[in-house]
Amino acid sequence: MSIGKTLSFHRTLSVVTMLAALGVPALAQNAAQPMPGMTAASSPDSSASSQALKAANDKMMQDMRKPMTGNTDQDFVANMIPHHQGAIDMARVELKYGKDPVLHRLARGIVAAQKKEIAEMHAWQAKHPAAS
């Protein structure tokens, strides 16, 4: 490599390093891009199971974003129902995509237990309507 190309390379590297240190968004986006020859489909977190787990988690988190009322009992139940439903949804992903028999048994237990607890919380809500 000629001296001119070497200096140009070092200047470019210095600028890129400085921009990265400053947190330039374009560089951060490029850093998240797959390497040449690597497609998004080949990255581990683009698998159907990862997408399904992420979707279940995202839905749970969204459903738990309820304004607090100041009534601890109401707020607890309002947040625990989507939390438990999220556990059911994630357990179903394990049952669909997972291979480990121990985790399948655990997932089936989670589905059964969380369904029962959700039913109990719905029953509690029916007996204790939120104050208007």
Listing DSSP states for the chain in one string gives: --HHHHHHHHHHHHHHHHHHHTT-HHHHHHHHSPPTT--GGGSGGGSHHHHHHHHHHHHHHHHT-----S-HHHHHHHHHHHHHHHHHHHHHHHHHH---HHHHHHHHHHHHHHHHHHHHHHHHHHHSPPP-
Question: Per-domain residue ranges for the chain?
Answer: 3-33, 42-127
Per-10-residue mean pLDDT of the chain, 132 residues long, equals: 52 47 45 47 75 93 92 95 96 96 98 98 94 56
Q: Give the per-residue pLDDT at 45.
A: 72
Q: Give the per-residue pLDDT at 131.
A: 64
Q: Give the per-residue pLDDT at 11.
A: 56
Q: Give the per-residue pLDDT at 31.
A: 43
Q: Give the per-residue pLDDT at 43.
A: 61
